[in-house]
Amino acid sequence: MEDYIELAVEMIRKGYDDRKIRSKLPREKADEIIEIARARIKARDKFSRTDLWMDMDGLRYATHEVVAKYRAQRVKPKSIADVSCGIGIQLIFFAKYAREAYAIDIDERKLFYAEKNAEKYGVYEKIRFIHGDSLNREVIEQVDADVIFSDPARPPEMPERRLEDLLPSPLKVYEAYRHKTDAFIFDLPPQIRREKIPWKGEFEYIDLFGALNRLTFYFEPLAKAERSAVLLPAKARLESNPDLENIIEWREPLEYIYEIPQAIDYADLINELFHKVNGTLYMLLREKRRVLATSSEKIKSEYFKRAYILTGITKFHPLRINDFLRKNDYGRATLRVSIADNAYWSFRRKIENGLKGEKRAFVFQYRDKAIITEAIGD
C-alpha cells in the first residue's frame, strides 16, 4: 500500500488524469490510496514528515505539528490518554515524553491511521490503541493515565460554541474519567466564552504563524496562570497578571503602528502586553480581525505580529489613497482593512492603479481615514 500511495502522489503531482492514476492502482483500494495521496500533497508544511497516513478530514482536524510539539513539551506527561485522537498527531508528540499512552477514537479508520503514524514517528510501542466510544464503560475501564486529553470534533453548523455540542463533549469526558485523574486538557473552539467553562484552570490561546489557532484549557493541576497567549513557532508566552495597574489608553495614530496577535486580544492580555514591552503603547484600533496599537517610539518585541511606520494619513477613498501612493513613490499596496473578500480586489486594483514606484505600502482604515504605512523589517 505504501508504494502505491507514493506512486499516486507522484502521478497527481505530474498532473495525470484520474483514469490513468486508477489504472495503476489495485481497484478495491484506489479510492483510499488517492485520498491519502491528495491529503499528503495538501498537508504541505503541516508536518515534518511527508509520509503520514490520513484522509482529508483527518488532515483538516489534525493538530499542527508545531502546536503538538509545543503542548507536549509544556505538559511532558508520564502517562496520557487522548480520548479523541484522530490520526494521532497530538498524541504522538505527548507519547514522546510519556512512559505509556492511550489512543482512542470512535472512527476505526482514523485509529488505523494513528497507528501507522505512530510507527513513523517511532512511538508505536508506547501506545495502546483502543477503537471505540471513549464514553463507553468498557473503553474507560481500559485506561489508566495521569492526564486525559481531548481535541473533540466540532460539528460544522454549531450555532453557538457550547461544550455540549463537541464530540465527545468535554463535560461527559470529565464525568467519565474524573475518578481516574484531576488533570484534564481540552481543546476548545477559541470563540467559546470563558464563563461557559465550569472548571478552574488556564485558558491558553495559541497563535500559529500570525493567526489564532487553538484554545487549550488546562485543569488546575496543570495550569500556570488564569489566561495565557503563546505565539508559535517563536514560543513567546504572555500570562495574565491581575495585580498589574491598568495602563490601557487610546490615542490617534502616532509615528509607529503595531499589530497585536489575535491570541493576545482573545486572552485579554493587552494590558499585560503594554506592561511587558520596552516603550509606551496606546490602543488605536480593535476589530474582530485586527488589533492595532500605536506609539511615538520604535519598539522591538517578539509579541507583535508586525510593526509599521506611518507615512501618511488621507481620506479613506480609493482615489485619494491612490493619489497619495502615486505621489510618494509606492509600487504596491496591501489593504489591511475589514472589507468583504469580493470587494477586496476591486478596491486594491483602484488604489494600485498606475503605481510605478518601488516601495510597498500597508493601508489600514481608521474611522474615515486611511493610514498609510510601511512594514518595518521588510
Count of chain residues binding ligand SAM (CB under 6 A): 24
Q: Which is it for strands 256-259 and 282-286: parallel, antiparallel or unpaired?
A: unpaired
The residue to which cell 481497484 is assigned: 27
Three-class secondary structure of residue 109 per DSSP: helix
Q: Residue from 33, 79, 84, 335 that binds ligand SAM (CB under 6 A)?
A: 84
Strand partners, 147: 80
Site string for ligand SAM, 48-67 (x = CB under 6 A): -------------xxx----
Q: How far is the CB of 30 from ligand SAM (least distance, A)?
A: 24
Q: What is the DSSP string of 295-327?
A: ESS----TT-SEEEEEEEEEESSHHHHHHHHHH
Question: Which positions from 106 through 165 interact with ligand SAM, judged by CB under 6 A?
Answer: 106-107, 110, 133-135, 151-153
Asked if residue 168 has a cis previous peptide bond (ω within 30° of 0), the answer is yes
Q: Residue from 66, 80, 88, 123 that binds ligand SAM (CB under 6 A)?
A: 88
Please identify, among the stretches 86-94, 242-250, 304-312, 325-333, the one whose residues bind ligand SAM according to the rule CB under 6 A.
Answer: 86-94
- For ligand SAM, the closer CB: 183 or 185: 185
Q: Residue from 43, 87, 185, 363 that binds ligand SAM (CB under 6 A)?
A: 87
- For ligand SAM, the closer CB: 68 or 260: 68
Q: Are 147 and 91 in contact (CB under 8 A)?
A: no
Continuous segment of H or E residues that includes residue 166: none
Strand partners, 334: 362
Q: How far apart are CA 176 and CA 72, in angstroms?
A: 23
Q: Is 105 in the site for ligand SAM (CB under 6 A)?
A: yes
Question: Which positions from 163 through 182 interact with ligand SAM, judged by CB under 6 A?
Answer: 167-168
Q: Which is it for strands 127-131 and 100-105: parallel, antiparallel or unpaired?
A: parallel
Q: How far apart are CA 284 and CA 294, in angstroms?
A: 6
Measured between alpha carbons, how far apart are the two ends of the chain, in Å? 46
**What cell was used for 267?**
486572552
In the bound state, the residue with its beta carbon closest to ligand SAM is 86
Q: How far is the CB of 300 from ligand SAM (least distance, A)?
A: 34
Q: How far is the CB of 213 from ligand SAM (least distance, A)?
A: 12
Q: How far is the CB of 120 from ligand SAM (least distance, A)?
A: 13
Q: How far is the CB of 299 from ligand SAM (least distance, A)?
A: 36
Q: Is 8 in the site for ligand SAM (CB under 6 A)?
A: no
Q: How far is the CB of 289 from ligand SAM (least distance, A)?
A: 24
Q: Is 263 in the site for ligand SAM (CB under 6 A)?
A: no
Q: Are 125 and 99 in contact (CB under 8 A)?
A: no
Q: How far apart are CA 344 and CA 337, in angstroms?
A: 9
Q: Residue from 77, 86, 170, 261 that binds ligand SAM (CB under 6 A)?
A: 86
Q: How far apart are CA 250 and CA 22, in angstroms?
A: 61
**What cell was used for 218?**
488546562
Which spans of this chain sit near ligand SAM (rule: CB under 6 A)? 61-63, 83-90, 104-107, 110, 133-135, 151-153, 167-168
